Structure 1
């Protein structure tokens, strides 16, 4: 039997992946844990001698001062930068694939910020690289009385435009709109994009932006 190249091995790894279940909760939302992702592919990676490792490029740290939804002043450390994930065929080390990626993390301790950035980055890299579905992608799993049915509570266009205006007002040499938007979502504890926010989420964002300051 002919020896498999890296791309053929990655296809076989992808075939091991079923539907991921959002098995972990935090900051008010559910997500797929990193351990669940690795458990589904690690055995096949070992069997096929495939390596995955990160390469950092220009990682920067910053400070983000803001006011929580309860009115408390808070300072978080933010890690951001460019990186590359490298797939490598251990049977033929020259057979490798580099995938550019981004790194973001925000915590009240700089070491935790860096650690969470790596964990979050790896988890979503693997999910997106393998086009892995989650249980929310299954129409039969949706609760029509839950978040999928809350159309009446959706943020108004006026609210969302005001959030965007406040973000634009905080743009500086260090932080562009997209970076500030990423910080804001992390401060809110959500990974939901702005166009899908509820009225309560928009109000929370406005409160943070009015009381916070990015340095």
Structure 2
């Protein structure tokens, strides 16, 4: 009988590169439907089940001003794990620790979007599928060649980041502040990761999108 590791390798072999086919809050991303479509048939064929388990959940409110109006968002975070199960032998399984976080103007939507985002990036990172400039970002979703990703060290390319994006970056940075790591120190560390000397207020949408992805997927300090 094929074990769970062998089955997951077989699933991985069916996946090629993804393209960023959806957009939200001014940044592009790989849709969850695209990810699941790539692996669902092979999972069914090999009888592999993926079970998400939420271990704990925390929430807080984030107040900000957008277009002159006061707004309040809910930020939901928590620890979880994903469990790959071999349906032919349920004792044959793999448990992987993970995290989720979401921000919306409604707490239930924040929780739901956090789980959706978490699942998408779990699958991308688990299977090691390229989504960076070396593959899908070097072309558009219609398959046309010749598109170049904006240079992250120069904010003259691309439109400026939206207020929503910047507020989310600031909120995620604030959650990482400690006695050793001040907000400004974290900010400088994030700029280094983006290979830019430009402060976040003048980032492009692409830079802000990269910053959000870094902060939401990296369990370690943004400046480490």
The verdict on a shared fold, with TM-score over 0.5 as the criterion, is: yes
Pick closer, same or farther for the CA change 1:200–1:120 going to 2, 3 Å.
same
* Aligned pairs (5 A) from 1:94-105: 94-105=91-102
Q: Which runs of 5+ in 1 are unaligned?
A: 155-162, 182-192, 205-215
Contact 1:63/1:78 (<8 A) preserved:
yes
TM-score (norm 2): 0.68
Contact 1:61/1:80 (<8 A) preserved:
yes
Indicate yes or no: 2:126 matched with 1:129: yes
Bigger-Rg structure (1/2)? 1
Higher relative contact order (Cα pairs below 8 Å, separated by 6+ residues):
1
CA distance in 2, matches of 1:123, 1:98: 17
TM-score (norm 1): 0.70
* Aligned pairs (5 A) from 1:17-166: 17-68=15-66, 70-134=67-131, 136-138=133-135, 141=139, 143-144=147-148, 146-148=149-151, 151-153=153-155
Shift, 1:177, TM fit: 2.4
Q: Deviations over 1:160-186 (max 9, x none)?
A: xxx9xxx79x96xxx4429x98xxxxx
Instruction: Provide the secondary structure at the position in 2 that maps to 1:126.
Output: helix
Pick closer, same or farther for the CA change 1:5–1:124 going to 2, 3 Å.
same
Contact 1:21/1:135 (<8 A) preserved:
no
**RMSD over aligned Cα, in angstroms?**
3.1
CA distance in 2, matches of 1:92, 1:116: 32
**Count, aligned residues:** 173
Q: Which runs of 5+ in 2 are unaligned?
A: 140-145, 157-165, 184-189, 204-224
